[in-house]
Amino acid sequence: MTINLPIELLRSLVAVADAGTMSRAARQISLTQSALSLQMKRLCELTQLQVFNRHSRGVTLTPEGKQLLAYARAILALNDQAVASFAGETLAVPARIGMVQDFADQLLEGVLTRFARLHRTPQLQVRIGYTSELLTLLSGGVLDIVIGLSEPGDPAAVITPRMTWLGHARLLDEPRLPLALMEGPCMFRDAALRALDEGGVPYDIILETASISVLRAALNAGLAISCRAENFATRGLPLLEIAGVSLPHVAVTVRTATALAQPLQRLASFMRDAILAGTEPMWKLEDAAFASG
């Protein structure tokens, strides 16, 4: 027997998975929480799957739920592309995006390529800044979508990569480890200095900058070592291990304003897809031609 999965149920599934809680997802897609719960119950009945695990902080997907979510995203992408190609959907106002510097190069080209396919005249305003600053703008109604960094366990987390050391291995033999760090406030800076202090590793900060491009140039030139997420690596810039020094994980989050218009919900979904696709180092992404999807 053929089973048809209604688009609205799949869209609600994606909303719940992205939001992390039923109540937050219901607000974002303009449904009551009870109506959304009924939709998810219906989806479970149709698929005969246990899609969610419920706990005190919200809901998480079961392994079967994660598989269904991947299909849902693919189905919705095709559905929305088909509808937009005939409707010529346009944005009435610019999409206002905020993101930390780490993801500007990695995400924007592929995401904007996908978004432009669905909208004849996409209008975008992109602000690069620190997470705390961007979240203030989001809560103040100045931004629609924010890609930021947070502690592991954040309900808005899309991935939680390991922090790692990056740089040329020969620098590990220096009597004092040369460091290149972003200016504070910076989670990576704080984690690096705390880990080295706790591990008893002597170091000198030889470069401080507010520019991620300057930091990358210093690492590529072999001037210093730094601490970033694994996906920050580029060709010729290996991931390093420092004996006796362990680094924590960091959460990459996507947060949105409540009651987003459908095109903006789609843009946020594209960004989550791009973050998930970007869990490999950047040079591997370049070879994979992510923008095709």
Residue 161 DSSP one-character state: P
Q: Is the pLDDT of residue 9 over 80?
A: yes
Question: Is the CB of residue 277 less than 8 Å from the CB of residue 191?
Answer: no
C-beta of residue 245 within 8 angstroms of C-beta of residue 194 = no
Chain-centre distance for alpha carbon 135: 14
Q: For 260-270, what is each residue's pLDDT tens digit?
A: 777 788 888 88
- 86's CB contacts (< 8 A; 6+ apart) are none
Q: What's the CA angle centered on 102, arms 98 and 233, to 5 degrees?
A: 160
Write out pLDDT tens, residues 268-291. 888 888 787 664 443 333 333 333
Percent of the chain with pLDDT over 70: 83
Whether residue 53 contacts residue 62, with contact meaning beta carbons closer than 8 Å, is answered with yes
pLDDT at 19 over 70: yes
Question: Phi, psi (5° rounding) for residue 58?
Answer: 145, -140
- Across residues 15-33, what is the average pLDDT? 80
Burial class of residue 225 in the structure, from the number of CB atoms within 10 Å of its CB (0-12 exposed, 13-18 middle, 19+ buried): buried
Specify the pLDDT at position 291: 33
The rounded distance, in Å, linking the Cα atoms of 144 and 146 is: 7
- Comparing C-alpha atoms, which of 143, 123, 126 is closest to residue 134? 143
Half-sphere exposure (Cβ direction) of 45: Cα atoms closer than 13 Å: 8
Alpha helices in 173-248 (DSSP H): 187-199, 212-220
CA-CA distance, 231 to 189, in Å (whole number)? 17
**Is pLDDT above 90 for 23?**
no
Of residues 264 and 194, the one with the higher pLDDT is: 194
- In this prediction, residue 214 has a pLDDT band, given cuts at 50, 70 and 90, of very high
Higher pLDDT, 144 or 114: 144
Which pLDDT score is estimated for 200?
92
Domains of the chain by range and CATH?
1-87 (1.10.10.10), 90-148+258-293 (3.40.190.10), 163-240 (3.40.190.10)
pTM for the full predicted model: 0.65
Average pLDDT over residues 187-204: 94
Q: How are beta strands 177-182 and 203-209 bridged, if at all?
A: parallel
Q: Give pLDDT, residue 280.
A: 44
Asked whether 147 and 107 are in contact (CB, 8 A), the reply is yes
Task: Dump pLDDT digits (tens) for 45-68.
Answer: 999 999 988 777 677 889 999 999
